[in-house]
Structure 1
Amino acid sequence: MTFIQKILHRPFFIKLLHWEYWSFHAVYTPIYLYWLWLCIKARSFFFFNTSNPTIKNGGFLMESKKDIYDIIPQEYYPKTIFINANTNKAKILSLVNEAALKFPLIGKPDIGMRGLSVKKLETIDDIIDYAQNSKVDFLLQEFIPFEQEVGIFYYRYPNETHGHISGIVGKEFLTVTGDGISNMETLLSKDKRFILQLPALQKAYGDTLQKVLKRNEDFLLVPYGNHARGAKFIDLSHLADEQLTSMIDEVCKNVDGFYFGRMDVRYNTWEELKQGKNFGIVELNGAGSEPTHIYDPKHSIFFAWKEIIRHWRILWKISRINHHKQNMPYMNFSSGIRMFKENSAYVKMISTE
């Protein structure tokens, strides 16, 4: 590796030269004026709360995942239980046994964001350890066994009978492939995407990263499709044909009061997904959803800004219709400021777990 290549493989330059790794504010600040214009048109800084009437704050921030699962038909998502923070070991084991949960499980904060504190749990000891380290209420959810995952962005105007898919993102999980010579840590240090995750992977796997994989042998490092945890996002929006749109529309119309957001789905095959077979909803996100297909490395920051603005306008229009046609009040200013403060404090709690 040349001197220039070594420089370009340093985390600072990887983030600087690839906008997909920029901070949230670095991406969004240049287009905040458009958001302000929508606020002025709505005569509210927090108009988004009316976008999804049955979800707290419209699903923008501080919404409970459990409350969202409660409005999704049970056949669409895996078995899930809610655990209060500081619940004792005996009670947790009782709840797990009562629900007859099957390993592996996923532990995640009830109010979560960007994959923070999400962990795969293989044993009872893993559950107890996760609970002891959690400062917040959390969910235990059976792991959906299907290998493929996509995020499907859906919206439906309240005065229309059919909804639309505005973006699809495919997710390549963080996986290292062996060459029969180098250990996993060496292989990881050669790939820019892996380099950014290396400190977390070293903490999670320790000496396991010294293992030499056979040639073409794959080792799954992060089993969920979160961009902040190293997954590569691929824009598959071109796959939103009539059959898939009809199926997703039917699912989403069965979620009471849901008009705008992204649904993360694990599935077996694409054809089965289009037919509504062999899939499970990992999460459903509301007004705070990003059109994550923008993070495909092939897209420029200008494409991203265009897509974000397009989705903001849809959000504004849906919120406006619910506000006027259903006489739903917008969130007042003090409540909106309190929401942001609560979110900031909450992020600090789950970021340190």
Structure 2
Amino acid sequence: MISADNGAEQQAAAAGFQTTLRDRLGIKLSRLARWEFWPAWAFYPPIVVYILARSARATPFMAVTAANPCLKASGIIGETKQDALRPLQANAPDYVAEFMMLPVVWPLAERVEALRRFVETGPGYPIVLKPDIGQRGRGVAVIRNEEQAADYLAAAFDDVVLQRHISGAEFGVFVYRDPNTARVELLSIVNKCFPTVTGDGHRSLGELILDDPRARLIAPGLFERFATRLDEIPAADVVVPLVEIGAHCRGSLFLDGQQFKSEPLRLAMTAIVDAVPGYHFGRIDLRCPDDEALRNGRGIKVMELNGVTAESAHIYHPGTPLLEGWKAMIAQWKLAIEIGEANAAAGAPTISFIELLKLWRTDMKRGERWF
């Protein structure tokens, strides 16, 4: 879900760009009319009711926390990115965007030096930095030089994942291992698109954003990101990328990628899942050269393997009916609980509801520290 940021309007105004009351009200009403922009508290209540009701009939009650034994609480909350990336890099390195860890306990100079060596052994900048524990694109940044990297690391409060930046098309492929057949199946595919605007030599960047049907819907976040550039006038035909992080809450456009399902893709995803023992259910975020490469299961580079609370993100395709979104999410959680029950019966551990609440509170505090 994407939430508006009133502070963004204030930053834009401070930079000299002014929006009218009509613009602000129009954006808020447009977002209200499209449930993909609703806050989580408005969308999730029916799903939470289902999860609790279904869990009450599960054996054991918190069976869903056994859906992914390789992740803390199966990736419901508080899991680390490295828990899944490390075995994938060790067992199937061709399928992963190379990464290394920069622990916060290392002195800043040591982390910067390790980053410098990592950059020198690869294609160079850009690179990606992100928190080892994070959700919904929190703290993810594309870094283009050492100064930006040092600033990021100086501000980081927790361990950081340093990863190669992969060009190409970005997708989220939701996979699961069928609890009855053990076969890896494709549940959902989302094509992550990054909005842009094209200059005409007359309108400012702020005006281009407000005049673009999609960009104006995410204007609050864009005003924050481009606060010092909103009065700039891009030259004619100059394309300005507005988003570069494949997270819906960061402004990416999510399109249903059902048409990319294929047997070659399923086999490629099977190889990835097999390389991470204990991973049975979640969305795998990846990049590959283009649509055909995805359909053929080639050129895939995994950036993250997400756990149980990852969403079948095709539901955010513009125009998807609200009931279809609820239906897809309920089906997803039903499957997660069934997989958790099968794993728990085979001996996989679960955690208690109280432990889960503690993890949630810890994650809420962690989220306040990331920029």
State the TM-score, normalizing by the size of structure 2: 0.86
Q: Hey, what's the Cα distance between the residues in 2 that align with 1:232 and 1:330?
A: 35
Name the residue aligned to 2:150: 128
Q: Hey, what's the Cα distance between the residues in 2 that align with 1:29 and 1:45?
A: 20
Q: CA deviation at 1:97?
A: 3.5
Q: Hey, what's the Cα distance between the residues in 1 that align with 2:259 and 2:299?
A: 22
Name the residue aligned to 2:313: 292
Q: Does residue 264 of structure 1 match 2:271?
A: no
Corresponding letter in the other structure for 2:347: N
Mark the CA change 1:46 to 1:342 in structure 2 (over 3 Å): closer, same or farther: farther
Name the residue aligned to 1:236: 257
Name the residue aligned to 1:141: 163
How many residue pairs get aligned? The number is: 345
SS at match of 1:234: strand
**Aligned to 1:328, which of 333, 348, 363?**
348
Name the residue aligned to 1:55: 71
Q: Does residue 109 of structure 1 match 2:131?
A: yes
Q: CA deviation at 1:339?
A: 1.4
Q: Does residue 14 of structure 1 match 2:30?
A: yes
Superposed CA offset, 1:204-233 (max 9, x none)? 334433333344432112212211111111
Q: CA RMSD in A?
A: 2.1
Q: Hey, what's the Cα distance between the residues in 2 that align with 1:41 and 1:75?
A: 41
Contact 2:264–2:297 (8 Å) recurs in 1: no
Name the residue aligned to 2:230: 209
Q: CA deviation at 1:44?
A: 4.9
SS at match of 1:169: strand
Q: CA deviation at 1:27?
A: 0.6
SS at match of 1:93: helix
Name the residue aligned to 1:246: 267
Contact 1:60–1:287 (8 Å) recurs in 2: yes
SS at match of 1:261: strand
Unaligned runs of 5+ in 1: none
Q: Does residue 82 of structure 1 match 2:101?
A: yes
Unaligned runs of 5+ in 2: 1-20
Name the residue aligned to 2:296: 275
Q: Hey, what's the Cα distance between the residues in 2 that align with 1:301 and 1:203?
A: 29
**Aligned to 1:151, which of 172, 175, 185?**
172
Give aligned-pair identity as a percent: 28
SS at match of 1:255: coil
Q: CA deviation at 1:236?
A: 1.3
Q: CA deviation at 1:133?
A: 1.5
Q: CA deviation at 1:75?
A: 2.0
Contact 2:260–2:291 (8 Å) recurs in 1: no
SS at match of 2:279: coil
Corresponding letter in the other structure for 1:124: E
Q: CA deviation at 1:203?
A: 4.0
Contact 2:104–2:158 (8 Å) recurs in 1: yes
SS at match of 2:101: strand
State the TM-score, normalizing by the size of structure 1: 0.91
